[in-house]
A and B are shown apart, each in its own frame.
Chain A
């Protein structure tokens, strides 16, 4: 089935560039949601995500990130979801990077505001 670049074992420099590009293209001020084809399972360390369309599995390695992801659909923007979950300004870039990776693997998708 589909293979995605984020799962590849890439050499350091190329990887860093593509990750930065990915993160930069993630719109923190857009409205997001967990993809309707994704199931979230809470675990002691955070959560497991499974996408029934791509058959891909992802891990959320912190409870805060789980809170951010789970509240995306109720918040006007990803930034608002982060702030609501208690993410500090200093930590925001890390969460943005994590969300960008989730978006790239279609675990979360932009939602249209009516």
Chain B
């Protein structure tokens, strides 16, 4: 309308009263050891929030009118009190979308999910074939995911999400993923592999090539209406045409992450002390962290654009993903490592080996990650948690 002083996107960059979407990793415990896990999950952290503390957080989210949370982990369903928490959230009108590898989605659980209007499920699958998927997620994980999908379908759940992290090994399977989603009346969601968590160790060998990136973009332009992306490919807007979504880095502005011990980070892909804004256990709780923390206040100031400012694509890509830059050792005001103009590759060549920042936390199983073949490592779980999942945006 006429009274608006700034375009909506500008408003968003200055932050909102509460996040639009919030990712909440409930536990670092996981039965799997995916090579690209964004949160380096595996072992439970002994300082994990108790159920009482979780309930306090939910009450706070309800007061702030956070419409829904994206719950992930780790594998959130391995927390014995997971369903109690889901029920508590939905009775407080905080919707829940949770990401799972499917291990606990039995026929009984599927029937329970079919009965709830406020719970969405997202099953992780990183290959449309056993070989490609299990190389990244571990032996037997393809069958587990497909069994969970079958259970959901048999119980009458429609429109659950199948979440795929794109790698150079599964880009060629995009149509196959879509066919799997169609077969289960599910919705395909594809996200970007970030060099976060264990993803940093496999990013070089797994991230899509420049040629594949163009192919991915063309596929999204052709199929984007029916496919969710969690807004994670906004750096591809540099090719010319914006993809559906907000097309901005929402870190600390419209999204954030609460980790299993209550730490609040700017985004799910940025588990590093540089992006740690506070803790929900602090005085003032999550509300104070969101509204007044030094880090989030800083992120909401106008960005300079740095080296990218003079680029013709800057208005479209806005410099790309903060976390991708950070964990590949690039300056935050420089190009994205996967910049479509090729500036990222040039910049990466100037980063000395071993100098990129490492994630601050590692909860990986001590037995090591699972990959069967090192040359076939895959995508990262972090991507599945993007808070903008499933949003269809319209402005009035």
Write the chain A residue with the least CB distance to B66.
Answer: A41
Identify the interface centre among B3, B117, B159, B226: most chain A CB within 10 Å of its CB.
B3
Choice from B4, B16, B226 contacting A61 with Cβ under 8 Å: B4
Contact with B along A38-69 (1 / 0, CB 8 A): 01011111101010110111111111110000
Segment at the B interface, from A4-12, A24-32, A70-78? A4-12
Bound CA–CA A6/B393 (angstroms): 9
Identify the interface centre among B3, B18, B65, B394: most chain A CB within 10 Å of its CB.
B394
Within 1-39 of B, Cβ neighbours of A (below 8 Å) are at: 1-4, 6, 8, 11, 14, 16-18, 20
The yes or no answer to A102 lying at the interface (CB within 8 A) is yes
Does the CB pair A62–B3 fall under 8 Å?
yes
Within 337-396 of B, Cβ neighbours of A (below 8 Å) are at: 390-396
The yes or no answer to B244 lying at the interface (CB within 8 A) is yes
Chain A residues lying within 8 Å of B187, measured Cβ to Cβ, are 1
Choice from B3, B16, B68, B242 contacting A63 with Cβ under 8 Å: B3
Within 301-347 of B, Cβ neighbours of A (below 8 Å) are at: none
Choice from B2, B117, B244 contacting A9 with Cβ under 8 Å: B244
Query: Dominant SS at the B interface?
Result: loop
Number of interface residues of A (CB under 8 A): 37
The yes or no answer to A22 lying at the interface (CB within 8 A) is no
Query: Dominant SS at the A interface?
Result: mixed
The yes or no answer to B118 lying at the interface (CB within 8 A) is yes
Chain B residues lying within 8 Å of A52, measured Cβ to Cβ, are 67, 93, 95, 117-118
Write the chain B residue with the least CB distance to A59.
Answer: B395
Does the CB pair B1–A65 fall under 8 Å?
yes
Q: Given A59-B8, A94-B1 in contact, is the A53-B395 Cβ separation under 8 Å? A: no
- Chain A residues with CB under 8 Å of chain B are 1-4, 6-9, 39, 41-46, 48, 50, 52-53, 55-65, 91, 94-95, 98, 101-102, 105
- Chain B residues with CB under 8 Å of chain A are 1-4, 6, 8, 11, 14, 16-18, 20, 65, 67-68, 93, 95, 117-118, 120, 159, 187, 225-226, 242, 244, 390-396
